[in-house]
Amino acid sequence: MGFDPFGAPQYGLNDVKVAAWNATGNYGDAVDVPAAQMMNTTLQASSAQLEGDDSILATASRATGAQVRVRFGSISLAALEVILGQQSVPSGGTEQRTLTVKGGDAMPYFGICGKALAEEGEGDTHVFIPKCKVTGDVTLAQLEYGRFAIPEMTVQAVPDETCGIVQLIEHADDTPVAIPPAEDS
């Protein structure tokens, strides 16, 4: 049983980055998601069946979006600034930063890219979601005795005019995560 020579079989989650998306399809600076534990991407579809004459006559199905669950092992104000669209500010006169989330603030679009290394060979696989936003509850921090703080959230991906809903990119060599992904030259 052979695997392709690029990024397979994939193992683990080596890196995740997020970057603010703007209306022109450009991105802000990529920010590392620290101690990335999970990036689960599920492609969503809308489908229907044409029934008649006691049978199914046709089926239609279209990709419509994707749902992405992300879990990381450290509270990162820098990553949350991108994801929640808020800026942290120095406060209190000491070395302190505060990120405040207010009611009624709109969630922004952002891009997210995760990387898994190939278990065999030198390559990797990147999963790039070009345009998504938080659409549900966010566990900002699960603070618990004997455990690390674990932020977790689900975001909804929508089609980006240039990059689509999701891109799966294999590299023959381990390649750093970039948003948008760098093109080979």
Q: How far is CA 16 from CA 104, 113, 127, 177, in A?
A: 28, 6, 9, 7
Residues 111 and 21: beta-carbon distance below 8 Å: yes
Residues of the chain with pLDDT under 50: none
- Residues facing residue 140 across a β-bridge: none
Q: What is the pTM of this model?
A: 0.91
At residue 142, the pLDDT reads: 85
Q: How confident is the model over 93-129, as pLDDT tens digits?
A: 678 888 898 888 899 999 999 999 998 888 999 999 9
At residue 184, the pLDDT reads: 64
- Is residue 144 helix, strand or coil? coil
At residue 183, the pLDDT reads: 76
Q: What is the DSSP letter of 104?
A: T
- Per-residue buried b or exposed e for 105-129, using 16+ beta carbons within 10 Å of the residue's own CB: eebbbbbbbbbbbbeebebbbbbbb
At residue 163, the pLDDT reads: 92
Residues 6+ apart with CB under 8 A from 89: 97, 98, 100
Question: For the chain, what are the domain ranges?
Answer: 10-38+72-171
- The tokens for 130 are 């070009």
d(CA 9, CA 125): 9
